[in-house]
Amino acid sequence: MATAAVSVSSCLRAVVASSSSSSTSSCSYSYCYFYSRRHLPTTSRTPKFAKPHFVSLPSFVASRPLVVAAAAMSYDKEFAAAKKAASLAARLCQKVQKELLQSDVQSKSDRSPVTVADYGSQAIVSFVLERELSTEPLSLVAEEDSGDLRKDSGKDTLQRITKHVNETIATDGSYSASPLSPEDVLRAIDTGKSEGGSFGRHWVLDPIDGTKGFLRGDQYAVALALLDDGKVVLGVLACPNLPLASIAGNVTSENAVGCLFYAKVGSGTFMQSLDGSSPVKVHVSDIGNSEDASFFESYEKAHSMQDLTSSIARKLGVKAPPVRIDSQAKYGALSRGDGAIYMRFPHKGYREKIWDHAAGCIVVTEAGGVATDAAGQPLDFSKGRYLDLDTGIIVTNQKLMPSLLKAVRESLEEKSSSL
Ligand SMILES: Nc1ncnc2c1ncn2[C@@H]1O[C@H](COP(=O)(O)O)[C@@H](O)[C@H]1OP(=O)(O)O
Ligand SMILES: [Mg+2]
Ligand SMILES: [Mg+2]
Ligand SMILES: [Mg+2]
């Protein structure tokens, strides 16, 4: 552990992110630095060192009397809070999915569906993070907002969300405060309005990723990640309907479902049952011959250009049919080697959001995989609520990435020359 005695402001911290298991991982990183989030000038904020250093601080900081033993940050507290938050949110989603009423589903302004479970899940995650990490102001970049629930037409829905949230929190037993009011729930949902960015810590949440899968009774995920200075440092994916056994080839020998995947920078990826079995370390497939690979893609045709993914698969000689499932459950399944490739090529004009990939990205990269855009560039989560990327997202192991990139490039060239 790195320690240093320095006179600093109360928010000066030493952060050590241990070395990643995968040098080419697009989410992982390795460095050690000292900084003050608010009080240092921009140029001094993230000096990077190979090893822990005593740093010379600007006099306006050094003059503060507080002496801090700056300890290595391991994100342990945040990791535990994230697992608890995603697991509780998944419990709410499972309950709602069982008793789904038509009236629990609304259409948003982009005509995508949103349910009481999306809102409830977001409120629970926000509540749990606030409670567990009360020492830090919470910055949360999340998909939903309370706009429609604040209208007269949203009153009944808000009552149902509040009931689900309070019932779910009560099942945990560790929060003894009085039940949340509808206004508390609205406030918790709206905590998710942060814009994120390249500086400081931001939680990133998709309260239900794959709402269409959720409504069909298929796959969906609660996806929660933490960014630190624009990098994903931890991620949790709760996949309540994903079989615990492999889904390779779309078949599974076991009925038990409900997986929790989690990964922290430099520590690998683990999976356990949502009911709390002991965790197992998972690893991506080590297939090196693309003919033996199988690939995942969206269930929804509207979410990815399936003619393009078929062309890429043909070039790679992939024999197995695509495995089409909803949500970031694909990243979870990939992280344990159920398939070898995930391809996602949204139709023109669609902008990817960071909450649709942040948790999945670290889950798969810490399991030894690589996630890039269609040009092979790492995914950049530091640009705000959207991912700014070239054409699509591809994920695979390190052996297959070069041939996948080549097939992607050729297929994209053919597609553009045929237009
Ligand atoms: N037109 C679209 N193109 C691509 N992705 C979309 C589109 N509409 C919604 N999504 C998002 O795609 C993800 C589902 O991915 P998949 O297709 O892999 O199952 C979800 O994050 C979903 O949002 P949401 O979180 O609202 O469900
Ligand atoms: Mg949505
Ligand atoms: Mg989503
Ligand atoms: Mg969503």
Residue-wise pLDDT for 112-148, tens only, equals 888 999 999 999 999 999 999 998 889 999 999 999 9
Q: Which of 124, 122, 120 is nearest to 169 (CA)?
A: 124
Mutate to test the pocket of ligand 1, among 112, 301, 393 (most ligand atoms within 8 A of CB): 112
Look up the domain containing 404 and give its range. Answer: 290-417
**Residue 365: left if φ>0, alpha if ψ -120 to 50, beta else—which one?**
alpha
**What letter represents residue 290's amino acid?**
S
From residue 355, give the alpha-carbon distance in Å to each of 143, 173, 196, 206, 306.
7, 29, 11, 5, 23
Atom of ligand 1 nearest to the CA of 330: 18
ipTM value, please give it: 0.94
- Kindly indicate the confidence band of residue 39, based on its pLDDT and cuts at 50, 70 and 90: very low
Reported in sequence order, the residue ranges of 255-376 that DSSP labels E, i.e. its strands, are 257-264, 269-273, 280-282, 295-297, 323-324, 341-344, 369-373
Contact at 8 Å (CB) between 224 and 121?
A: no
Compute the C-alpha angle 125/222/215, nearest 5°: 120
Judged on CB neighbours under 10 Å (0-12, 13-18, 19+), 326 is buried
At 229-240, the pLDDT tens digits run 999 999 999 999
Q: With 90 as the cut, is the pLDDT of residue 214 above it?
A: yes
Contact at 8 Å (CB) between 72 and 13?
A: no
Contact at 8 Å (CB) between 133 and 77?
A: yes
- Which ligand minimizes its atom distance to the CA of 114? 2
- Kindly indicate the confidence band of residue 109, based on its pLDDT and cuts at 50, 70 and 90: confident
379 located within any domain: yes
Q: Which of 323, 328, 96, 139 is nearest to 222 (CA)?
A: 328
Cα-to-centroid distance, 62 and ligand 1 (Å): 48
Cβ(327) to ligand 1 under 6 A? Answer: yes
94 located within any domain: no
The per-residue pLDDT for 252 is 67
Least confident of 66-70, 157-161, 313-317, 410-414: 66-70
Atom of ligand 1 nearest to the CA of 208: 25
50 located within any domain: no
353 located within any domain: yes
Cα-to-centroid distance, 37 and ligand 3 (Å): 30
Q: Active-site residue numbers?
A: 118, 211
Terminal Cα-to-Cα distance of the chain (whole angstroms): 57
Contact at 8 Å (CB) between 23 and 93?
A: no
CATH number of the domain residue 399 falls in? 3.40.190.80
- Kindly indicate the confidence band of residue 68, based on its pLDDT and cuts at 50, 70 and 90: very low
Total number of residues shown for the chain:
419
Compute the C-alpha angle 330/335/340, nearest 5°: 75
374 located within any domain: yes
| Token pair listed for 210 | 């794959």
Count how many domains the chain has. Answer: 1
Least confident of 7-21, 159-173, 185-199: 7-21
Q: With 70 as the cut, is the pLDDT of residue 30 above it?
A: no
Cα-to-centroid distance, 142 and ligand 4 (Å): 9
Cα-to-centroid distance, 107 and ligand 1 (Å): 14
The per-residue pLDDT for 4 is 32
| Token pair listed for 100 | 């789904």
Within 8 A by CB and 6+ apart from 416, the residues are none
The per-residue pLDDT for 51 is 33
State whether the Cα torsion 227-230-233-237 is positive or negative: positive
From residue 135, give the alpha-carbon distance in Å to each of 67, 174, 197.
18, 18, 21
320 located within any domain: yes
CA dihedral 59→64→65→71, nearest 10 degrees, is -90
At 334-356, the pLDDT tens digits run 999 999 999 999 999 999 999 99
At 351-372, the pLDDT tens digits run 999 999 999 999 999 999 999 9
Q: With 70 as the cut, is the pLDDT of residue 65 above it?
A: no
410 located within any domain: yes
Cβ(332) to ligand 1 under 6 A? Answer: no
Q: With 70 as the cut, is the pLDDT of residue 38 above it?
A: no
Atom of ligand 1 nearest to the CA of 214: 27
Q: What is the DSSP string of 389-415?
A: -SS-EEEEETTTHHHHHHHHHHHHHHH
Contacts 24+ apart (CB under 8 A), 287-292: 287/340, 287/397, 287/399, 287/400, 288/399, 288/400, 290/316, 290/317, 290/318, 290/400, 290/403, 290/404, 290/407, 291/316, 291/317, 291/318, 291/319, 292/319, 292/340
Atom of ligand 1 nearest to the CA of 300: 17
Prediction pTM value = 0.84
Cβ(264) to ligand 1 under 6 A? Answer: no
Residues at Cβ < 5 Å from ligand 2 ion: 112, 211
Angle between helices 76-98 and 155-172 (to 10 degrees): 120
35 located within any domain: no
Cβ(302) to ligand 1 under 6 A? Answer: yes
Cβ(206) to ligand 1 under 6 A? Answer: yes
